[in-house]
Amino acid sequence: MVTHAPLFGSNPPRIEEAFSRRAKIVLVQGDSHETLKRVPGGAIKLIVTSPPYNLGKEYEMATELDAYLAALNPIVDELVRVLHQEGSICWQVGNYVKDGEVYPLDILFYPFFKRHGLKLRNRVIWHFEHGLHASKRLSGRYETLLWFTKGDQYTFNLDSVRVPSKYPGKTHFKGERYGQPSGNPLGKNPSDYWQVLERDWEHVVWDIPNVKANHPEKTGHPCQFPIELVERCVLALTNRGDWVLDPFAGVGSALLAALRHDRRAMGCEKEREYCEVTRGRIKQLYAGTLRYRPMGKPVHRPTGREKVSQVPLTWLQKQETS
Ligand SMILES: C[S@@+](CC[C@H](N)C(=O)[O-])C[C@H]1O[C@@H](n2cnc3c(N)ncnc32)[C@H](O)[C@@H]1O
């Protein structure tokens, strides 16, 4: 599927290689700790990222958990310094698993942010249906996103991310507003369990799919953000023209989400190859040829008629005899 972004012309703004307040897009190839030192304090409205997970992906050596966390500590210090007083950090992580034991990374990272006085506003569950099938524990089907703010005054545009209500026709049943609609005409709060409803009248749980092989956004990166996931954060937590930063940018999904909504975008990424993919995707975004899953599009649900959704005959026989 190719989705066109009609607001975009064919020439993207210049992609700068160092932070400048006047720039629209900054992409720095290198270590994010070094890069962040050159970003002025308070410049960034939203930091949205999925840090390396220490899971032995192709771009990292699995290190011991303590060493892994210690290496990220100075980066978090810099992130808090560059964060705007009314800004937010969205820190998206899963589990670290060693010898069958699960270490939930959000719990381990929480003190990093608390130490700086940041306040947790939500621990969002991002549910997806596909992944590895575990045999000695339950299969993991969610990751989390910790949303911290730097202070008590912070940008939060709830109306930009409302979703259709389940029962928009509900009315007040007593008092002065008896008989009038009780909900919000713009929809309801999307909650901290991320799902998107297809239509006002249907109650179906639709989740934002994990970016896997047959997803329109898939690049060569092993664990890429769906653009849609970041779009929610961008729309709710920034205004037009604000800076959005991903210090572990990968193939630039957070930058694309920011640019799609007329924010400024900065990414730091140590791998040259991923930076090249990001550049290509930015070009495609402005040319209107970027493949991405539009925000709120329902996840494909099998009808039951597809061969893959039918119970194999041999299983049916086994089920009958057991
Ligand atoms: C979990 S991936 C992020 C993927 C990204 N959210 C996307 O949508 O493509 C983490 C990325 O951080 C990069 N990385 C790891 N350590 C880094 C560092 N110290 N500085 C810059 N990038 C780093 C890795 O190369 C990897 O691409």
Ligand 1 in contact with 52 (CB < 6 A)?
yes
pLDDT computed for residue 4 by the predictor: 43
pLDDT computed for residue 213 by the predictor: 55
- Residue 316 burial (10 A CB sphere; 0-12, 13-18, 19+): exposed
Q: Where are the domains of the chain?
A: 15-321
pLDDT computed for residue 221 by the predictor: 74
- Residue 255 burial (10 A CB sphere; 0-12, 13-18, 19+): buried
Residue of minimum CA distance from atom 19 in ligand 1 = 31
pLDDT computed for residue 206 by the predictor: 36
pLDDT computed for residue 147 by the predictor: 98
| Residues recorded for the chain | 322
Residue of minimum CA distance from atom 5 in ligand 1 = 250
Give the homologous superfamily in CATH for domain 15-321. Vaccinia Virus protein VP39 (3.40.50.150)
Mutation test residue for ligand 1: of 73, 248, 256, 273, the one with most atoms within 8 Å of CB: 248
**pLDDT, mean of each 10-residue run, the chain (322 residues):** 51 94 97 98 98 66 78 97 98 90 95 98 88 90 95 97 88 93 90 58 41 64 82 97 98 97 98 97 94 66 64 73 73
DSSP 34-55: HHHTTSPTT-EEEEEE----SS
Cα(247) to centroid of ligand 1, in Å?
Answer: 7
